[in-house]
Amino acid sequence: MIVADEVTKIGADYWYRDGGLTKRVAGTVRSVEAVRALIEKPPENQAPNAENPKTAVPDSFWVMLKGGARMKVEEVKEDDDGAWCRRGNFSFLIARERIDRIERDSTLTVKPGWQARGWTTGNPRFDQLIKTNGNRFGVDPYLVFCVIEHESHFDSHAISPKGARGLMQLMPGTAARFGVTNPFDPAQNVVGGTRYLKELLTMFGDRVDLALASYNAGEGAVLKYGSNVPPYRETREYVKRISRRYGIEPKQDRKATSASN
C-alpha cells in the first residue's frame, strides 16, 4: 500500500505525489481510495465570511484547455510539467501543453456604480465568461452583457458588413491589439472586448457614454470632438440604446451637438 498526497492516472499508468516528489507506481494498482478528507465545518449559526477565514467559502478555478474544453476544480498547483488539480478527493495532472489558461472562478462582485440585476444570455457558458472577465478586468458584467446583446445578439459567429467579428464584434485591428487570434472563439472574444472596454473607461474617466461611443466609432473620433460623443447618427443611436438598456441616460454634449447642426 502507498499513501500519497495526490494520485492521477495517465493512460495505463498511475502516478502519485508524496510531498514534492512525483513517481509512477511500478506494480499493479487494484484500487485508489481516499484515506481521509478533513473538512473543517463552521460552528452552527455562523455563516462563512471574510472575517472568519476558516469558514470562508473556498475559491474554485477554471482550467481552460486548448480546443475549447474547460474543467472546474477546487485547487490548482502549477509546476514545470503542468497543473496538479484537485476536485473533491481526486487529484490529477493536466499536461502543460494541453492548457490554454487558468482562471479564478469568483462570485459576481458588485462594485459602486455597477448595475446589480439579473440577466442571462441564455447560454450558461457565455454568462460565465462575461462574469469572470468583468470581475477580472474591473468592468461591470452587465455593461459587457449589454454591449454583446446589441453588437451580436449573442451570436459568436456574427460578422458585420465592416468586418467586425464574434460576440463583441471586434475589428481585426482591435482583435490583434488585445491578442485575440480567433475572434469566433467566445472566450478569446470576450477577453479582448472586455479589455478594450476597460481601456476606454479608464481613458474617459469611467464615462460609460464616451466608452460606448469609442467602442462604436473609435477613441480618435471621441477625442476629435473634445471628448464628447461624435455627431454621427449611428454612434449617437448606439450610445443611447445601450445606455438606456444599461440603466443610465446619456449626457448631452453641447460641443458635439453644435458641430452636428
- Residues 90 and 128 both lie in one domain: no
The rounded distance, in Å, linking the Cα atoms of 232 and 255 is 13
Query: Which pLDDT score, from 0 to 100, does residue 109 have?
Result: 56
Domain that holds residue 21: 6-36+58-105
Nine-digit cell at 117?
Answer: 440585476
The rounded distance, in Å, linking the Cα atoms of 164 and 174 is 9
Q: Which residues make Cβ contacts (< 8 Å) with residue 18, sequence separation at least 6?
A: 2, 3, 4, 5
Query: Which pLDDT score, from 0 to 100, does residue 11 have?
Result: 62
Structural domain contains residue 115: no
What is the CATH number for 143? 1.10.530.10
Structural domain contains residue 111: no
Grid cell 478528507 in the structure block, residue: 37
Query: Which pLDDT score, from 0 to 100, does residue 110 have?
Result: 57
Query: Which pLDDT score, from 0 to 100, does residue 71 have?
Result: 77
Query: Which pLDDT score, from 0 to 100, does residue 101 have?
Result: 79
- Residues 64 and 161 both lie in one domain: no
List active site positions: 151
- Residues 30 and 137 both lie in one domain: no
Query: Which pLDDT score, from 0 to 100, does residue 222 have?
Result: 97
- Residues 185 and 245 both lie in one domain: yes
- Residues 64 and 142 both lie in one domain: no
Structural domain contains residue 50: no
Query: Which pLDDT score, from 0 to 100, does residue 189 have?
Result: 96
- Residues 214 and 142 both lie in one domain: yes
Structural domain contains residue 235: yes
Structural domain contains residue 147: yes
Query: Which parts of the chain are beta strand (E)?
Result: 6-10, 13-18, 21-24, 60-65, 70-73, 75-79, 82-87, 90-95, 99-105
Structural domain contains residue 196: yes
Side chain identity at residue 174, one-letter code: T
Mean pLDDT by 10 residues, the chain (261 residues): 64 63 69 48 41 45 77 82 82 87 63 66 90 90 95 96 96 95 95 96 96 96 96 96 87 50 43
Nine-digit cell at 107?
Answer: 462570485
- Residues 233 and 172 both lie in one domain: yes
Query: Which pLDDT score, from 0 to 100, does residue 148 have?
Result: 97
- Residues 172 and 251 both lie in one domain: yes
- Residues 64 and 144 both lie in one domain: no
- Residues 134 and 90 both lie in one domain: no
Structural domain contains residue 53: no
User: Are 105 and 72 spatial neighbours (Cβ–Cβ below 8 Å)?
Assistant: yes
The rounded distance, in Å, linking the Cα atoms of 143 and 114 is 8
Give the single-character DSSP code of 42. P
How far is the CA of 138 from the CAs of 86, 114, 135, 175, 235, in angstroms? 28, 10, 5, 19, 24
Query: Which pLDDT score, from 0 to 100, does residue 207 have?
Result: 95
Q: Which residues make Cβ contacts (< 8 Å) with residue 58, sequence separation at least 6?
A: 74
Positive or negative: CA dihedral 91, 92, 93, 98: negative
- Residues 96 and 128 both lie in one domain: no
Structural domain contains residue 51: no
Q: Bridge partners of 34?
A: none
- Residues 130 and 161 both lie in one domain: yes
Query: Which pLDDT score, from 0 to 100, does residue 122 have?
Result: 87
Query: Which pLDDT score, from 0 to 100, does residue 240 have?
Result: 96
Number of structural domains in the chain: 2
Nearest to 5 by CA among 24, 19, 23, 21: 19
